[in-house]
A and B are shown apart, each in its own frame.
Chain A
Amino acid sequence: MPWGYEAMMTRKEKNKRICMAIYCAVVYLFLFLPIAVIVVNSFNATNTKPYMSWKGFTFDWYVKLWSNGSLLEAFGTTVLLAVISTILSTMIGTLGAIGMYKYRFRGKTLIDGLLYIPVVIPEIVLGISLLTIFAKADIPRGMLTLVLAHVSFCIPFVIFNVRARLSGYDLSIEEASMDLGAGRLRTFFEITIPVLMPGITGGALLAFTLSIDDVIISYFVYGQTKTYPLKVMESVKSGVAPDVNALSTLILIVTAVFVVLTQGDLFHRKYTET
């Protein structure tokens, strides 16, 4: 049963609803304004830094994008990095969450406490702490250090998501499975994991999102393996070139399409009901 302003739609109610709609529209405008600037600038025919004044419409930047090797390479690096760190942190995090749920051991509270650190401590502190330790251990900065850094800040998010799912998890189904003769491994892969799947995918999605947009932590550990956000950071210094805007626009379109596809049922229902 909905509440508040139900059946009676007096004029006052109507005004209220219009006000609310306008309010929301203003907030959405705020959220999408810089995106509009990016999209419009990706079609801007200007050739001179800082690429701001409008010089006419062009598709050139979308063509030129494909010959900007370093930008595409950086984008590839980012995707690879996000995939690797998502897989690693999801595996380590899921195992850890289950293990910490099932077993008690010395030092558990310590690990528990450590897990909160990457979530609450400002990223810059994590970045410099990794920088100093990598410098001390003389580990060459590059893909390896980026993966280590990303895995370390993604794991807690995976664990919290899996843990949220575990809180409703009844261990007795594992016993039932083993009573029926299934081995420990088989029980794990065929009972435990499927039950926890929503938590695992939620955590993995979050890890992927965090990894792909991270700039502060990567900034301190990248060496010469530039990720797309770092490449953007570099171009922000001298004026974001329209081809960077073009790539951002393409990414935006792809993610928007992805959203539409995954929410497909929603749109479908809307049309069948009316």
Chain B
Amino acid sequence: MKKKVMSLLLAVTVSMLMLSGCGNAGKTDNGELNVFIWTEYVSEGAIADFQDQYGIKVNVSTYSSNEDMLSKLKSESEGAYDVLLPSDYAVEYLVAQDKLEKLDREELPNLKNIDDSYLDPSYDPGNLYSVPYEGGVACIAVNTSKVDREITSYDDLFDPALEGQIVVLDDTRAVIGMTARSMGYSMNETDRTVLSEIQEKLMSLKQNVRLYDSDSPKSALISGDCAVGMVWSAEIAMAMEENPDIEIVYPSEGAYVFLDNWVVPKGARNYDNAMKFINYMLSADAAKENISEFPYLCPNKKALELMGDDYVSNQAKNVPAEVIKNGEFVKYLDADTLAVYDEMWTKLKE
């Protein structure tokens, strides 16, 4: 019995030592890289290639919305992550809060691969803190074998005939923003009376929505569980490949446009590795691998050259320039307005 107890004690001591090891491991540069990115957005193959080429172990965590990411970032101690992939308005938010490290341009020679039209954005003038990755729009997927009527706009999604047939993004700003666009308002309305009008229309969407899914809405479209979707453009492009009945529709009101960016959060423990990673992701090869797997709008002109005409002429993958021009970016809202949005969202999902 004594022996058993002693071995038990030993086991505990060893495990405690291991634990304290884990606890300390992260304090300084540990030769690894902790990236926190969107689900279904960056090719695992590209990340594996980076690991092989640079001998840096990459730990991947994922999120399903900018808000998820910001919340997680806030709850973690500084330095938990080395690379993030926020959208436009989340970059603006992070910059305003002084939560980002400046990027070292010297370390990012591959930035030259990015098309000029995507540089110097309004949310980060001069690209001091961020470089673009991929972008796209939230638009409409229609399964033509299941839906008779023609759908051309966000407004059409509110048609009572579509009861229980739609999958929408599980994303507050996207769904409320779409409703606002369908009424001719901006996606960033703060006026309370306008918001209550939007709210009223939003509630008529409730019975049409079958599923809220941001991570893989294409699954419900491919499986036939949902006939119509208001989802990310590349999800539609992927669904179209699986199910030829699915078509992409760019809403006539102008779509929700986003551009996601690589950034380094303040206090990142592996800054140098982060630079290597971002530079690698800007390379034509990595970008090609990424858009092959997740066909979003690609700011990387060298990668587009590699992809050839099939990709460039595919309207779902390479979103037409005028769609981007007519679309609207989301902006970050003050806490009080966000609370109103959250209230609207709670009512919708109740």
Contacts and interface: CB of A to CB of B under 8 A. Distances in A.
Contact of B26 (A134, A140, A194): A140
Interface string B6-26: 001001100100111011001
B302 interface: no
A247 interface: no
A138 B78 CA distance: 9
A63 to B, nearest CB: 18
Interface in B41-98: 59-62, 64, 74-77, 80
User: Which residue, A70, A80, A138, A144, has most C-beta atoms of chain B within 10 A?
Assistant: A144
Contact of B39 (A70, A134, A225, A234): A234
A144 B19 contact: yes
* Contact-residue size bin, chain B (C-beta under 8 Å from the other chain): 20 to 34
A237 interface: yes
Given A87-B8, A135-B75, A48 B242 contact: yes
A143 B218 contact: no
B40 interface: yes
A226 B11 CA distance: 23
Contact of A238 (B19, B26, B216, B222): B216
B349 interface: no
Contact of A147 (B19, B60, B75, B215): B19
Given A49-B216, A50-B222, A84-B19, A139 B77 contact: yes
Interface of A: 48-50, 52, 70, 80, 83-84, 87-88, 91, 131-132, 134-135, 138-144, 147, 189-190, 193-194, 223-226, 234, 237-239
23 contacts: A48-B242, A49-B216, A49-B219, A50-B216, A50-B219, A50-B222, A70-B60, A80-B15, A88-B15, A131-B75, A132-B75, A134-B75, A140-B26, A140-B76, A141-B77, A144-B22, A144-B23, A189-B1, A190-B1, A223-B76, A223-B80, A237-B64, A239-B216
Given A49-B216, A142-B22, 8 more contacts: A48-B242, A49-B218, A52-B223, A70-B60, A141-B75, A143-B19, A190-B1, A194-B1
